[in-house]
Copies of this chain bind each other. A is one copy, B any other.
């Protein structure tokens, strides 16, 4: 039989591989999708044996090697040809699958996504676009990928791809797109953002103009556009600062007995706060602008996060995101 969507999983990537990846696949299994676990056949068979799942919907594609966090990303993609990541990316390139999901090395996945999977027609550079939490929900931060010295035209394409993704996958009509800058006035910024601003102004997305660092967490924009250097630092600073703040609060709450009792009573509030920052709900970071979808799942993904990433990939296929991106990008080019 033929399936509407076929998804390959890097069963060996991430802190909890292969068990969390296999469990996530079992949780996500549906009649109309096929999931291929890429990795060590023996290990995966052992994992799978506990679930008694129909092998037609959940199959194994053997790959003998694993790219680890200690490997140099680009070198590993070139040399470890039988790694679960390279084999999975090649399945995507050859259109055997619609999407490839990995919780392994971000650097290797970016390099592999760029070198092994073809770009969508008209796309200059693919981009990695994680969702980051804000006071209202989440924003898409695009680009956090490998394009270290970006051009304004890349940023304009990122804005468009991010807008399509947030509308079609996250269900936000006419997503607000903001350009990260040092001030909100039109003429602000460095050479890159000044040029990007004038391109974005002319585009037909819902461009709300420049946004500042303090707007990121306020949820001012649904799509936050920046170069990958800036995006990488925003993303990791968000993680680091949130973690530090939680640690500082915990430390102070444990520092006197009354506060300790208070913390105990407030436990359910803290649980709700934590839930608002829970990445496992929304899958992973899509790498946009490729032929098909590559998803970077969080390194510490549990089964639920993998399940969400699979749901995200299914929707990506159903909503024909690659086709939508190509259509919009090439409309622009031909104008």
Cβ–Cβ contact A266 & B263, under 8 A: yes
> A135–B248 Cα gap in the complex (Å)?
7
Q: How far is the CB of A230 from chain B (nearest CB, A)?
A: 6
Kindly state the interface size class of chain A when it binds its partner.
35 or more
Verify A190–B237 contact, CB threshold 8 A: no
Within 8 A of B (CB), among A250-302: 252-253, 255-256, 258-259, 261-270, 272-273, 276
Tell me if A's interface is mostly helix, strand, loop or mixed. Answer: helix
Within 8 Å of chain B (Cβ to Cβ): is A308? no
Given contacts A217-B237, A249-B249, A249-B270, 9 further A-B contacts (CB under 8 A): A148-B182, A182-B232, A182-B233, A193-B229, A213-B239, A218-B244, A255-B272, A259-B265, A259-B269
- Complex contact A237–B214 (CB within 8 A): yes
CB distance from A258 to the nearest CB of B (A): 5
26 contacts between A and B (CB under 8 A): A135-B244, A149-B191, A180-B233, A182-B229, A213-B239, A213-B240, A230-B230, A237-B237, A237-B238, A238-B241, A241-B241, A248-B273, A249-B269, A252-B269, A252-B273, A252-B276, A256-B269, A258-B268, A259-B266, A259-B267, A259-B268, A262-B263, A262-B264, A262-B269, A263-B266, A266-B266
CA distance A269 to B263 in the complex (A): 10
B residues near A190, Cβ cutoff 8 Å: 148-149, 227, 229
- Chain B residues lying within 8 Å of A235, measured Cβ to Cβ, are 213
Interface residues of A in 181-238 (CB under 8 A from B): 182-183, 189-191, 193, 212-218, 227-230, 232-238
